[in-house]
Amino acid sequence: MMKQTSKALLVLVFGLVVSSSANAQATNVAPQFDPYLPGELNERALYALKSEDIPTALILLERAYRLNPNSPDIKSNLEIVRNLDKQKFPIQVSGEVIYLDAAGNPIATEVTGEIPALWPSPKP
């Protein structure tokens, strides 16, 4: 009787361990989340921040804050990510303007004045 109980208990524990490991999410894959739960949005934002995706983390934390403005964790994380977003260097654009046609091919600058209108000009 004791052997049967210990075997059943061992099978139960083994089943629980196997099922919990099967349900666990991989650490290198983004966790699944419900976009309507602020806590899960906060966790997903931290995952995005870990991947150095600051814009995504900012969007997720702003949504989480709108859903639950009373959470001190979400509020502090949002402040941290906003500061990180402000510290990034602005994008510097240099060079000349290139005009493209509808197919995406470059157009010479002297031709840009000759682009036809979308409708004919009225007759005098």
* Radius of gyration of the CA atoms of the chain, in A: 29
Residue 17, pLDDT > 70, answer no
pTM: 0.49
In DSSP notation, the chain reads: -HHHHHHHHHHHHHHHHHHHHHHSPPTTSPPP--TT-HHHHHHHHHHHHHTT-HHHHHHHHHHHHHH-TT-HHHHHHHHHHHHHHHHSPPPP--S---EE-TTS-EE-GGGGGGPPPSSPPPP-
Which pLDDT value is given to residue 91? 47
Higher pLDDT, 71 or 112: 71
- Mean pLDDT is lowest, of 48-57, 83-92, 112-121, for 112-121
Instruction: Specify the pLDDT at position 69.
Output: 93
Interval 39-59: pLDDT, tens: 889 888 888 888 888 899 999
Place of tokens 């600058």: 109
Residue 58's pLDDT is 92
Of the listed ranges 40-44, 63-67, 85-89, 116-120, the least confidently predicted one is 116-120
Q: Answer whether residue 108 shows pLDDT above 70.
A: no
89-104: b (≥16 Cβ within 10 Å) or e: eeeeeeeeeeeeeeee
